[in-house]
Amino acid sequence: MQNSAAMSEHIIRPNKSRWEKCRDWSKSWSPQVKQAVIAGAILILLTVAGWILFSPKGKSDELVGEISRTSIYQETNAQIRAVRSRVFLLVSIDNTGPVPTKVDHYSLDIKSGTAQFKSLQPVVIPEEVRLASGDGRELAPATNAIYDKTITPLREGDTKMGWIAFDVPGTSTEALKANGTTFRLRFEDNRRREFFAQYAWSSERTNLLYFPGQ
């Protein structure tokens, strides 16, 4: 007995991936369209490469710090029998990069033969404090503080110099003035990148005299 209706045939085609669909679609382009797409892609690549190589944002602005002088003074609180040393550093910071940047978040690490201190925070320098240099000049570090000078962004090639002070608890000046004691100043730029300036104490260096004022 013959079937009165012919059975329909079903052809199963696998689903194409996105890449295959895109490839088939691009094959339908005319030669002019293909040339325009290739030229556009090359232009985009050249633009990105040029931006990376020549844009100021692609360059790294660098801060260079230097500690040129120090003064270390010891204080004793007779009431609580506490001893602390106050460290003054004369710091210069130079912006060698093309991008203006502020400088802040100062901190100090100290390493001596007997002790180590991490992330000491700066203290406000009292206005009455005076430092006497070896040539008899009297210096007023409070009017020449580095953290006041670097609030305004340093432009390319700018250099700022000033004083900064730190208190070191429970330590005598003799311990800090031992040969080889290192003072490592840390500071940051606008993007919170860290930079450092390091100073090694030597008995041959001249320590500035400290006068707490009247």
Q: Which CATH architecture has domain 63-211?
A: Sandwich (2.60)
- What dihedral angle (degrees, nearest 10) is formed by the CA atoms of 120, 123, 129, 134? 30
pLDDT digits (tens, 9 = 90+) for 51-71: 555 544 434 458 999 999 888
What CA–CA distance (Å, rounded) separates 115 from 122? Answer: 19
* Averaged pLDDT, groups of 10, the chain, 214 residues long: 50 65 70 78 80 48 88 70 83 91 94 90 90 73 92 92 93 85 94 92 58 41
pLDDT digits (tens, 9 = 90+) for 26-45: 677 677 777 887 888 888 88
What count of other Cβ atoms lies within 10 Å of the Cβ of residue 141? 23
pLDDT digits (tens, 9 = 90+) for 119-131: 999 999 988 888 8
**pTM for this prediction:** 0.65
Pairing verdict, β 194-200 and 116-120: unpaired
Distances (CA, A) of 76 to 3, 26, 52, 149: 115, 83, 56, 31
Q: Tell me the domain boundaries of the chain.
A: 18-54, 63-211
